Amino acid sequence: MFYHIVTYGCQMNVHESEKIAGILEDLGYEFTPTRNNADVIVFNTCAIREGAEDRAFGNIGALKQQKRKNKNLLIVVCGCMTQQKDVAQRLFDTFPFVDIILGTHNIHLLKSLVMRKLNERKRILQYMESGDVVEGINVKRTSGDNAWVNIMYGCNNFCTYCIVPYVRGREKSRKKIDIINEIKEIIALQSYKTITLLGQNVNSYGNDDPSQGTFAQLLQNICDLQGDFKLTFMTSHPKDLNDDVINVMAQNDKILKELHLPVQSGSNKILKAMNRNYTIEHYLNIVNKLRGKMPDIRLSTDIIVGFPGETEEDFQDTCDLVRTVEYDNIFAFMYSKRGGTVADKMTGQIDDETKHKRVNFLLNLEKEIKAQKEN
Ligand code: 5AD
Ligand code: SF4
């Protein structure tokens, strides 16, 4: 009996698919790299932009034929897309060959849901409004010599364009002891070079439970563990990345000198409308501090073009910022309307042609800067 997992979206989802793989292996299934010979196919979906949802819908729809040929094929859809109640219901109604639908808060129930489906044959739509941190899931690591470790779940920031706080819930930190124990086990295996700490907003680790200490303390505690490993983390929010974290990074050889620091826009007006809670001056100040203490640090960022109200001048401010920082990597996205978010209802929505033009301009600018840096 074989399983196959299709993963969309971010590193959080990649790691969650490793947990899903662990659960399915506990049930006795083995991994197969193709979906054609699978007995269970899981779609771990993403909702961050419309395109991700459309692609998932298309690919799930295409399984109809395979299910017709193999009535026993089990199809599971989970993740951020199906954490939206209306989307989960639409999927359930549109695709009668999908067997189990669940969201982001109930992955740990997958084992019992698969067993229930096999016993009772009835289709399952399992929705959970919110959830607690669940420990003890057997992770089947699949990301080469990198081991992902969740340190927290959810997000409290409500950037006005973003659906994540709605589908991942409020910030919940794992207990430090559980994180440290997981990392000790990873180090003991000696097959992982890097450990990447994961959270939507790692810098606010412990804010929901101060007895766990701060993110900077967690980093130091991990660096103090015996063993040969490198440590990195994502994602950092510029409003929360403080001097303590910068100092711990600079002082510990175990921490990789790289940082993903999404700026989103180079215009203070747009940052305010995005509810990002920092200014470009603050952002550049952090960049200067980072480079002051770690001259070779590699910086990457996320940028959204075409946010409602973004004028040509705002966009040029973003380009100026990119020229100033000279990032090592830029992930540029066209703004995508997400139902239920504040920006969805804003006036001044930008047409697709302008968004395309701006994203292409930015990608070319990135190429030019990279070429210059290499010379
Ligand atoms: N449209 C476009 N990009 C988005 N992101 C988040 N929400 C949206 C949206 N509605 C981008 C942000 C974030 C990255 C993971 O995805 O840049 O940092
Ligand atoms: Fe979304 Fe903002 Fe939270 Fe990042 S910090 S997940 S962009 S709401």
pLDDT of residue 244 exceeding 90, the answer is yes
pLDDT of residue 82 exceeding 90, the answer is yes
Which residue type does 20 have? I
Can you tell me the mean pLDDT for 46-69? 92
338 in contact with ligand 1, CB cutoff 6 A: yes
pLDDT of residue 182 exceeding 90, the answer is yes
Cα 367 to Cα 69, 203, 226, 306, 335: the distances in Å are: 47, 30, 40, 20, 21
**Considering only CA atoms, which residue is closest to atom 2 of ligand 2?**
159
Separation between Cα atoms, residue 331 and residue 322, nearest integer Å: 12
The residues facing 77 across adjacent strands are 43, 101
Instruction: Identify the CATH assignment for 257-375 out of 3.30.750.200, 3.40.50.300, 3.30.450.20, 3.20.20.140.
Output: 3.30.750.200
pLDDT of residue 110: 94
Cα 285 to Cα 170, 240, 269, 326: the distances in Å are: 29, 13, 18, 15
pLDDT of residue 85: 93
User: What ligand 2 atom has the least distance to the C-alpha of 264?
Assistant: 7
User: What ligand 2 atom has the least distance to the C-alpha of 165?
Assistant: 8
Q: Answer whether 143-232 and 257-375 agree in fold.
A: yes
**Considering only CA atoms, which residue is closest to atom 5 of ligand 2?**
157
Confidence bin at 136 (pLDDT 50/70/90): confident
Can you tell me the mean pLDDT for 85-114? 94
pLDDT of residue 83 exceeding 90, the answer is yes
The domain spans of the chain are 2-126, 143-232, 257-375
pLDDT of residue 131 exceeding 90, the answer is no
pLDDT above 70 as % of the chain: 100
Q: Which ligand is nearest to the CA of 155?
A: 2
CA of 272 from ligand 2 middle (Å) equals 14
pLDDT of residue 374: 81
Query: Which CATH class for the 143-232 domain?
Result: alpha beta
Which residue type does 105 have? H
Confidence bin at 89 (pLDDT 50/70/90): very high
Separation between Cα atoms, residue 358 and residue 306, nearest integer Å: 8
pLDDT of residue 135: 85
Residues 40 and 29: beta-carbon distance below 8 Å: yes
pLDDT of residue 373: 82
pLDDT of residue 323: 96
pLDDT of residue 375 exceeding 80, the answer is no
Can you tell me the mean pLDDT for 328-336? 96
User: What ligand 2 atom has the least distance to the C-alpha of 155?
Assistant: 3
pLDDT of residue 346 exceeding 80, the answer is yes
pLDDT of residue 143: 87
333 in contact with ligand 1, CB cutoff 6 A: yes
End-to-end CA distance of the chain: 53
Can you tell me the mean pLDDT for 220-235? 97
Separation between Cα atoms, residue 287 and residue 271, nearest integer Å: 17
Can you tell me the mean pLDDT for 144-167? 96
Digit-coded pLDDT (tens) for 246-288: 999 999 999 999 999 999 999 999 999 999 999 999 999 999 9
Confidence bin at 158 (pLDDT 50/70/90): very high
Phi, psi for 213 (deg, rounded to 5)? 85, 180
Q: Where are the alpha helices (DSSP H) in the chain?
A: 11-26, 50-61, 64-69, 85-94, 110-120, 164-168, 176-189, 215-223, 243-251, 268-273, 280-293, 312-325, 352-374
pLDDT of residue 121: 81
Question: Which is the CATH superfamily of the domain at 2-126?
Answer: Methylthiotransferase, N-terminal domain (3.40.50.12160)
Cα 334 to Cα 17, 274, 308, 357, 370: the distances in Å are: 26, 14, 11, 10, 21
Report the chain's mean pLDDT, rounded to a whole number: 95
pLDDT of residue 132: 87
pLDDT of residue 127 exceeding 90, the answer is no
Digit-coded pLDDT (tens) for 311-331: 999 999 999 999 999 999 999
- Find the residues whose C-beta lies inside 6 A of ligand 2: 155, 157-159, 162, 164-165, 200-201, 237
Phi, psi for 27 (deg, rounded to 5)? -80, -5
Q: Which ligand is nearest to the CA of 262?
A: 1
Separation between Cα atoms, residue 99 and residue 315, nearest integer Å: 45
Can you tell me the mean pLDDT for 175-202? 96
pLDDT of residue 126: 87
Can you tell me the mean pLDDT for 350-356? 98
